[in-house]
C-alpha cells in the first residue's frame, strides 16, 4: 500500500516539494500523524514488522519492541529536523513564484518534503507496531 495524503495544496501533496514551493502550509506533527492514521499506510518497514508479528512469544513482543524503539529514535530525530526546516522555510520567505518562468524549486522545499515523508513513515511504523502490541501474541505458533 502506498501513502495517499489528503493534505494537498494546488494538487500537490505535502510530501512533494512543489506543495511548499507554491505556498502550502507547514503541517504540525499531530496533523501528519492523523493523516497517516487515516490513510492506513504501514510504512516501508511493514514486511519486517509483519515478520516480527508472526514470531512466537516472547520473541514476537521483543522484536516488535526493538523495532518500535528504533522507530521512536528515528522519529525524534526527524521531528527535530522537520522543525528546523519549517523555521528555515519561514525565514526563506513565501513569495509567489511566476509559474511560467519557474523550472525548479529551492532546496528548502525539497528538504522539508522529504522530512515530511520520513515523519509519515515513522508514524506509520509506530501505529502498526502499537496495534500489534495491543493484541495478544500466540505463545506456541506463528
Mean per-residue pLDDT pooled into runs of 10, the chain (142 residues): 65 92 93 95 97 95 97 98 96 65 80 97 97 76 50
pLDDT of residue 60: 96
Location of C-alpha cell 511566476 = 98
Instruction: Write down the pLDDT at residue 100.
Output: 57
- What's the pTM value of the predicted model, to 2 decimals? 0.86
DSSP secondary structure, 20-66, as one string? HHTTPPPPPHHHHHHHHHHHT---TTHHHHHHHHTSPTTHHHHHHHH
Amino acid at each position: 500500500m502506498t501513502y495517499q495524503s489528503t493534505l494537498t495544496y494546488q494538487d500537490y501533496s505535502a510530501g512533494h516539494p512543489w506543495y511548499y514551493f507554491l505556498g502550502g502550509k507547514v503541517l504540525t506533527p499531530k496533523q501528519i500523524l492523523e493523516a497517516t492514521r487515516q490513510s492506513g499506510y504501514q510504512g516501508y518497514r511493514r514486511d519486517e514488522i509483519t515478520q516480527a508479528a508472526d514470531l512466537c512469544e516472547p520473541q514476537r513482543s521483543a522484536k516488535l519492541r526493538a523495532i518500535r524503539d528504533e522507530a521512536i529514535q528515528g522519529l525524534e530525530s526527524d521531528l527535530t529536523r522537520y522543525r528546523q526546516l519549517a523555521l528555515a522555510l519561514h525565514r526563506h520567505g513565501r513569495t509567489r513564484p511566476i509559474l511560467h518562468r519557474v523550472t525548479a524549486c529551492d532546496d528548502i522545499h525539497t528538504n522539508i518534503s522529504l522530512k515530511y515523508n520520513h515523519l509519515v513513515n515513522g508514524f506509520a511504523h509506530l501505529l502498526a507496531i502499537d496495534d500489534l502490541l495491543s493484541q495478544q501474541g500466540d505463545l506456541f505458533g506463528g
